[in-house]
A and B are shown apart, each in its own frame.
Chain A
Amino acid sequence: MQRHDPGNSGLGKSFLGNDFMLFNSYGFILGYLPIVLGGFFLIARNSHRLAALWLAAASVFFYGWWNVKFVPLLLASIAFNYAIGYAIGHARVSSSARHLLAAGIVADLVLLGVFKYTHFFIGSINDFFGLNIELARIVLPLGISFFTFTQIAYLVDVYRGIAREYDFIHYLLFVTYFPHLIAGPVLHHKQMMPQFASASIYRPQYSNMGIGLTLFTIGLAKKVLLADSFGQYADPVFAAAKDGFEPRFIMAWTGALAYTFQLYFDFSGYSDMAVGLSRMFGVQLPVNFNSPYKAWNVIEFWRRWHMTLSAFLRDYLYIPLGGNRLGPVRRHVNLMITMLLGGLWHGANWTFVVWGGLHGFFLVSNHAWRALRLRLGIPLVEPTGLGRMTGVAITFLCVVVAWVFFRAESLAAGLVIAKGCFGLSGLALSHRLESIGEILRNDGVNTGNSLVFTGWFEGNAALNLLGGVKIAILVFTGSLLIWVFPNSQNLVLPEYRTARPILSHPRFMRWLAITTGCMAAVALSSISKISAFLYYQF
């Protein structure tokens, strides 16, 4: 009765269909990657340009496998932006360049708006005014936010004189490069073009292969062994909330924490895999994730979470809005606008707006707190010891509450989980603790509906089946990895390891090779139920 029950294992699934091109699928790992990697270095022996073209073509194929319908859209967007960029770079009059830049950005935003936000706006208008305007279903092209933002940054950089190279094959590769195309990191022209032009990437190197395989393996293990396991606990809670069920304290926290850990390991795993994959080709992608839950305040959190998107929003939205140059009030308004739009960037839903708004509020509070400290003459030094731990704990709690809305299907669903987390829906305990209720009632305490003994997971079959021990072990393991151990780039990337010479000791390297080799075996054999990365949908 295999299909009716959770938990499956074994090889041989998903060699067909879109799952084929997930980084954590057998099709990608055992088929696509070796062919593209081998082909790239073989072709590069004769021609670097042809090798770059091969990689670009393979990247377009990678994209097309998901939905071939959108390949023309992607290519048209690339051709348009390349042409606009070329025209901006060769404009003789600065006003023409400015007009071209404005036209390019507007066109990109219109494209994004049509595909990503039309339904949201029409739906919101319908809800607000009680109308019933119908619209044909528009399918969101995968990665449209990433390739649009990458190209907007390109146009701005050309206008600012930062981007100067106009090789079309390299530009095509820069936009479509498969390790980043679907879920980031957001790339800058100036980071990538010199690498594509460099002869060193066209020669296979043991060091790049070792770094790439190690990072990719660590990312794969995070995704397959941790993120997906946490997801099994998060999904039933959010599904129940969507159906109107009000989880009580423990179940609400189970869902909120499970999603907080799931998203961390999912995105961290994806980022490691993207950087690792690219490193196999000799190309260095920017680090996108630097232990964000170690942040001691929300400002620091945003320097560590989705770093390339944060930098994009700072450089191309917050600073052009005036940044902090127009006084504290404008700075806070600019921060709120940036975070609200950053929230909306993640998805066309009010839940994302609320998430962005919450983070805007946290950032504004954080800046106000800093200003108050300065006014009181307390220096802004990085805290240590207990002060730092307190800061990390408060930041983490704020982030968890915001993730609840980020994950929830609707504001109502997010609110019932948040209500449960704050203890406003009461507490449910195991049946085995019923005697506590008896004692309280005998003592005249009216527990009412606030203390019930319907089980830790309140009769939720999916959660009961998974059990409480597994989530406790998962949270313990996850906490160690998040707060105690060095993160993957500090462990693997030579440029980050210099601060800790022990990490480059031959014995450590041997241990690293054997451990990640074993990890690869475990992760590869555990890819049973392929699941997409969470950031693929943004």
Chain B
Amino acid sequence: MSYDKHYLLYFFGAMAAGLLLIFSAGFYAEPLSGDLTRVGGWTERDFGWREPLPEMPIDANFQDIKAAGVLVLGDSFSLANIWQTLVGREWGLNIASHNYEQFVCIEQWLEMLESNGMLGGKTVIVESLERFFASRFGNIGACRKSKSRDLSVVKPFEAFTHGEIPTSRRTGGEIPTDVVYLLKVLKNYAMGAIRGDQAILPGVAVNAPLSSTRLFSNRRSDRILYYYEDDAESGWTTEQVEESVRSIAAIQRRIEAAGGRFLFVLVPNKSSVYSDFIVGRPDGDRYTPIIQSLRRGGVAAADVLTPFRERIEKEVDFYLPDDTHVSTRGYLALGEVISGEMRRMDVK
């Protein structure tokens, strides 16, 4: 046999069989929607939510920084512009949001605002997810001076609103055919079968048992997915946390010195919010001590964990079961918390 007709038959036969197998597995797993199912190798069949979510208004991100009433620097929890829409409508203010990825470092964002005289009379909100607290704020002085001197005005990002915001239905539209993902799914199934129902299954997305099945609407609502990096918080040193607190206090002082008001919003990790229900999760509330430490340091910091914990039992799928982000129910709550803090700050 050489490269003849039979060779091609074997080649195409194997290719067709392989594609059939891959597509069948993909159809079974269902189209991917959440980041935790995707990176962790878990199926939407098991972790895609099934209860409808409330529809939400989403306004465009206000582009004129000078004319904005509120300036935001945030991560993926701000990227969709959902909580900003709610806060903006309630207060009748225009909100211009930037993302950390638009700058080399926070220092650069601050310099841009300061040097262009954009802080006077503004409310400035810095939003960050809990798991990034130490890495994001622990060493902000390391930002290279040379990079910080670019004072040109960076426009607020375009709000990400085109059909990808999960509202009533899941948003993934493509059958997962990536073999690496499907192999991860297979490995996870095998690991689950071997270790049993009560085991915490490690990985980029940890899969842990829950003591209640009423928190989420997905098929496997007896389990929760969260990022493994949440667990790495136990490795933070007190010095790292304190350094971060000092950095944020310094940011607040700079903003206030320029005539602005400052609010720090630390969005808790999914695993922090549901920690009381996660079977076998080590008790390590990092969030509350951070907020207390921030407040002791004079920082205006919103406690988001307490109201979130109060609501997770009342509202199914408060966080998305397949994703690290909150659902629209969660965004509504986040908007309320931030509005409440602004009320306390007496923003006009």
Contact = CB atoms under 8 A, between A and B. Distances in A.
Interface of A: 1-13, 206-211, 213-214, 243-245, 431-432, 434, 455, 459, 461, 464-465, 467, 494, 504, 506, 509-510, 513-518, 520-522, 524-526, 528
Nearest to B180: A526
Contact of A520 (B18, B32, B144): B18
B175 interface: yes
**Secondary structure type dominating chain A contacts:** helix
Interface in B145-174: 146-147, 160, 164, 166, 171-174
Given A206-B4, A494-B3, A514-B14, 13 more contacts: A1-B323, A1-B325, A10-B31, A10-B174, A206-B5, A209-B8, A210-B3, A518-B15, A521-B17, A521-B18, A521-B21, A525-B18, A525-B23
Chain A to chain B: the 5 pairs with minimum beta-carbon distance, closest first: A521-B18, A10-B174, A517-B14, A210-B3, A9-B178
7 contacts: A206-B7, A244-B144, A434-B235, A461-B135, A515-B14, A522-B18, A526-B177
Contacts of A243: 104-105, 144, 147
A434 B240 CA distance: 14
Given A210-B7, A520-B18, A465 B178 contact: no
Interface in B74-89: 76, 79-80
Q: How large is the interface on B (under 10, 10 to 19, 20 to 34, 35 or more residues)?
A: 35 or more
Contact of A9 (B12, B38, B160, B320): B38
Q: Give the interface centre of A209, A244, A245, A516 by most chain B CB atoms within 10 Å.
A: A244
Interface string B237-264: 0000000000000000000000000000
A9 B176 contact: yes
Interface of B: 1-8, 10-19, 21-23, 26, 31-35, 38-39, 76, 79-80, 104-105, 132, 134-135, 142-144, 146-147, 160, 164, 166, 171-181, 204, 229, 232, 235, 320, 323-325
A504 B134 CA distance: 59
Given A5-B35, A6-B39, A244 B13 contact: no
Given A5-B38, A10-B31, A243-B104, A509 B178 contact: no
A484 B239 CA distance: 48
Nearest to B23: A525
Contacts of B180: 526
A12 B175 CA distance: 9
B1 to A, nearest CB: 4
Contact of B11 (A8, A210, A524): A210
A3 B160 contact: yes
A2 B33 contact: yes
Contacts of B23: 525
A467 B204 contact: yes
A114 B7 CA distance: 49
A9 B1 CA distance: 37
A513 B135 contact: no
Contacts of A506: 1
A516 B173 CA distance: 29
Contacts of A13: 174
A506 B160 CA distance: 56
**Secondary structure type dominating chain B contacts:** helix
A513 B19 CA distance: 15
Q: Give the interface centre of A432, A515, A518 by most chain B CB atoms within 10 Å.
A: A518
A494 B232 CA distance: 54
Contacts of A461: 132, 135
Given A210-B3, A525-B178, A2 B172 contact: yes
A465 B229 CA distance: 8
A521 B35 contact: no
A459 B4 CA distance: 54
Contacts of A525: 18-19, 22-23, 26, 177-179
A513 B104 contact: no
Contacts of B325: 1
A431 B3 contact: no
B100 to A, nearest CB: 10
A207 B3 contact: yes
Contacts of A214: 3, 11
Nearest to B79: A4
A211 B235 CA distance: 54
B11 A517 contact: yes
A4 B179 CA distance: 22
A13 B173 CA distance: 11
Contacts of B22: 521-522, 525
A1 B166 contact: yes
A9 B226 CA distance: 20
A41 B172 CA distance: 41
Q: Give the interface centre of A208, A209, A210, A494 by most chain B CB atoms within 10 Å.
A: A210
B323 A10 contact: no
Contact of B35 (A4, A515, A524): A4
Contacts of B134: 459
Contacts of B320: 1
Q: Give the interface centre of B7, B12, B23 by most chain A CB atoms within 10 Å.
A: B7
A518 B166 contact: no
Nearest to B34: A1
B37 to A, nearest CB: 11
Contacts of B232: 431, 455
